[in-house]
Chain A
Amino acid sequence: MRHPRLWMGLLVGVLHSSAQGAWDVNMHRGATEVSRSVFDLHMTIFWICVIIGVLVFSVMIWSMIIHRRSTGQQPAHFHENTRVEVLWTVIPLLILIGMAVPATRTLIDIYDTSESDVDIQVTGYQWKWHYKYLGEDVEFFSNLTTSREQMNNLAPKGEHYLLEVDNPLVVPVGAKVRFLITAADVIHSWWVPALAVKKDAIPGFINESWTRIEEPGIYRGQCTELCGKDHGFMPVVVEAKSREDYAAWLAERKAEAAQLKELTSKEWTREELVERGQQVYQTYCSACHQANGEGLPPMFPALKGSPLTTGPLDGHLNIVFNGKPGTAMAAFGRQLSEVDIAAVVTYERNALGNSVGDMLTPQDVLAFKQAQE
């Protein structure tokens, strides 16, 4: 420690180099009326606790300083006082009643999901979110885009490390947006701190929640219910746009959906499917089956050289489409387009060390789908 200034400089440097807000000690006010009233409740109850704490602890500390034996203190002998005991039962009760009133008011407001302008179904999957705009024919998955290299410390981490997705949920500002929240596999929980919306996504049940965002912007959150291996890797990103921008975005999304339908009827070559399939595999399959297809047995079997990916085409398609009940293998028939299913099956058969040589076309998948229904 010959150079205290150098050490201090280093310390200050370390502290300043970290991301902005890294020493935040409190909740933020948020971006909606509800989030602000939740923040006010939080601060009210916090200050009540601080005041009571300061009073009680001052008495204790006073006693610890003044009533020490080393100061020659003789112990008193009192051991009850009905009046004091009644007082310190009744006064906290009154404080609590005072606290319950605004809390009840806010809670009633949060539970009023009526008269919404936009309805969005939010579905939790292991480990991504699916958003469906009810009545608009627009739906998509929202996947984490942070790279494995960043997680494994092989590349520098970005500002939105683990809080960035390919397709954010887009909502209009000023509108009452109602969320219908559910899950496809295990329980997840959809949370955006700035909106003060946190609701569990429960398979087989639908929970409701709502928000009305005032300012355009990007609001980030995370899954908050342990949902398995990649629980920490399924962020929520909400992008609030002005009403005009939102309308334009929605129109664009609808056009894309129409385009995808055309792709299904297009004539594909095996190489094209393998190329597209690689993208799909990286996004949907590699978390469990690993990028090289070797899996993490026994929970997540290998696809490389497996009897499934090198056996009959129908069996392979069936597992991808319907999943495997009782395991983590999801039914991708409801998650992916016909093109993407055809592409990923073709990819798994002709890559990852496999070379079966055949291919599955989107029309085959469509026929399979219709046969199932």
Chain B
Amino acid sequence: MTDMSDAVIDHGHAVHDHHGPAKGLMRWVLTTNHKDIGTLYLWFSFCAFLLGGSMAMVIRAELFQPGLQIVQPEFFNQMTTMHGLIMVFGAVMPAFVGLANWMIPLMIGAPDMALPRMNNFSFWLLPAAFGLLVSTLFMEGGGPNFGWTFYAPLSTTYAPESVTFFIFAIHLMGISSIMGAINVIATVLNLRAPGMTLMKMPLFVWTWLITAFLLIAVMPVLAGVVTMMLMDIHFGTSFFSAAGGGDPVLFQHVFWFFGHPEVYIMILPAFGAISAIIPAFSRKPLFGYTSMVYATGAIAFLSFLVWSHHMFTVGIPLTGELFFMYATMLIAVPTGVKVFNWVSTMWQGSLTFEAPMLFAVAFVILFTIGGFSGLMLAIAPADFQYHDTYFVVAHFHYVLVPGAIFGIFASAYYWLPKWTGHMYDETLARLHFWLSFVGMNLAFFPMHFLGLAGMPRRIPDYNLMFANFNLVSSIGAFLFGATQLLFLFIVIKCIRGGRPAPAKPWDGAEGLEWSVPSPAPYHTFQVPPEVK
């Protein structure tokens, strides 16, 4: 983008600066506008959320009662695998990239992302990757059926033939994520408005900056591990086969070196958004801004040192087991700091509970419950009882659903007026919140009990002693799933019309994004704002 003095000299650029979006489909295919690309990411993410969600509905329908009734075990395994892959790589990660695209330039006073053409490419890789991944379901032998963690040798020697397509799909997603991360880092480090020092950045920008470094560090590791699989399957190597001198556990070490930072990639941007929303609806500045930044950095650093807590039962030596147990327990400290800060922000504020705040408050409470079960899982001897049971399923759904996904819902309601220029329907949004809240707790809380009673995860059928809570859980899951169609309705209704939104619809909100009109014009901050 050029600034105004250039525009006067260069007539061509001046025309370019003032045009609006192109017309028709090609607007979306060729766009390099951060707002368009943000919108594409968000819609893609929502489609993936519905697809992954409908697979969850198949899983919960099969587990509704004991016995095999709806699907056979082979297909059940494909559903659990694809549900995990689509939710992690298709729903949660692209949603945060979409939010980053829309909001980071608006929050730091930049005219666009630093690398707009790469931005377009990194989005359009995603439909290709997911087209490839979902097409495996229709191939002979079926799609990936080895769990979203795809442990070798089940995913190599014993995998269906479609595994090669799965590997290429992962490669494409990885390339897309790395490019997205480079773009965020380049934007945040280079395009901040004058006066916007690092320690004045909104926390959403901070958490995304740290997330982007995590992505750049670990996505190549994921690419490495799937490439090793590809070599084992097609080129006669034995990285993961003991018969050829390799080690199946090596796979798990490499995978979880990616996998643990990955779970923070899915939650840190939500921390950032919640740190904007709670002060806005408490009408009070965020408590402990500096400690929030350092806590996020500490969590990111520790995420590289704890991967083996996913592998307490593989038989690592006692000293290794102890190290990973202590390091994992340590993560509770910076996470605790964040929760205490949010609570202190609310303390003596002037609180109102519009939909973003409802989701944010539920985020703090329910994510903390997921954090507690995480602390329990960190205790290695106790983990021997929890590992690979429904207790773990309950744990990571508590951090991902009311964590990552409620964080996304809160962000969506918070910024929808800025995106569309209309206020969303508050009554329906509150209904969406309460139905999601009840459905989600009904679906996932009983899973703690199932795991403690001894039900392993990833099984299509179970003993009668697990029947009651599975029934409750399925009912909750159906409620939660159906409720998300209401969210779709609310968003479409908000796009099509509604009360016009002022530039700053929330009286307690802070930040540059509220200084531009609603809806945000196609081009914003062509002249950088001055930050005091």
Contact = CB atoms under 8 A, between A and B. Distances in A.
Interface of A: 15, 18-27, 37-38, 41-42, 45-46, 49, 52-53, 56-57, 59-60, 63-64, 67-70, 73-80, 84-85, 88-89, 92-93, 96, 99-100, 103-104, 106-108, 110-111, 126, 150-153, 157, 159-163, 185-187, 189, 191, 193, 196-200, 202-205, 207-208, 221-233, 296, 298-299, 325-328
Contacts of A69: 283, 350-352
B120 interface: no
Nearest to A20: B465
B318 A56 contact: no
A189 B340 contact: no
Interface stretch (B13-21, B101-109, B456-464, B473-481): B456-464
Nearest to A38: B381
Given A103-B325, A298-B141, A56 B151 contact: no
Interface in B310-349: 313-315, 318, 321-322, 325-326, 329-330, 332-333, 336-337, 339-340, 343-349
Contacts of A88: 336-337, 340
Given A67-B347, A69-B350, 15 more contacts: A19-B463, A20-B465, A56-B343, A60-B365, A69-B351, A80-B287, A96-B330, A110-B384, A111-B321, A162-B461, A191-B456, A198-B384, A207-B315, A222-B459, A226-B458
B506 to A, nearest CB: 12
Contact of B381 (A76, A106, A163, A226): A106
B348 A19 contact: no
Nearest to B161: A298
Interface string B381-424: 11011011100000000000000000000000000000000000
Interface residues of B, number: 101
Contact of B372 (A53, A89, A225, A228): A53
B365 A226 contact: no
B290 interface: yes
Contacts, number: 300
A152 B69 CA distance: 7
B146 interface: yes
A346 B153 CA distance: 32
Nearest to B314: A200
Interface in B339-386: 339-340, 343-353, 361, 364-365, 368-369, 372-373, 375-376, 379-382, 384-385
Contacts of A53: 368-369, 372
A327 to B, nearest CB: 8
A107 B158 contact: no
B293 to A, nearest CB: 13
A89 B288 CA distance: 13
B458 to A, nearest CB: 5
A328 B61 CA distance: 29
Interface in B105-150: 140-142, 145-147
Interface in B461-499: 461-469
Contact of B459 (A25, A57, A198, A232): A232
A42 to B, nearest CB: 5
A32 to B, nearest CB: 12
Given A45-B382, A225-B388, A21 B465 contact: yes
A163 B462 CA distance: 9
B242 interface: yes
Contacts of A100: 325-326, 329
Nearest to A203: B242
Interface of B: 66-69, 73-74, 77, 140-142, 145-147, 151, 153-154, 157-158, 160-161, 241-243, 247-249, 282-291, 313-315, 318, 321-322, 325-326, 329-330, 332-333, 336-337, 339-340, 343-353, 361, 364-365, 368-369, 372-373, 375-376, 379-382, 384-385, 387-389, 448-449, 452-454, 456-469, 508
B283 A75 contact: yes
Contact of A80 (B73, B290, B329, B463): B290
A109 to B, nearest CB: 8
18 contacts: A21-B453, A26-B453, A56-B368, A64-B361, A67-B282, A67-B351, A76-B284, A84-B344, A96-B329, A103-B382, A152-B68, A153-B67, A153-B69, A162-B463, A187-B153, A232-B460, A232-B461, A298-B161
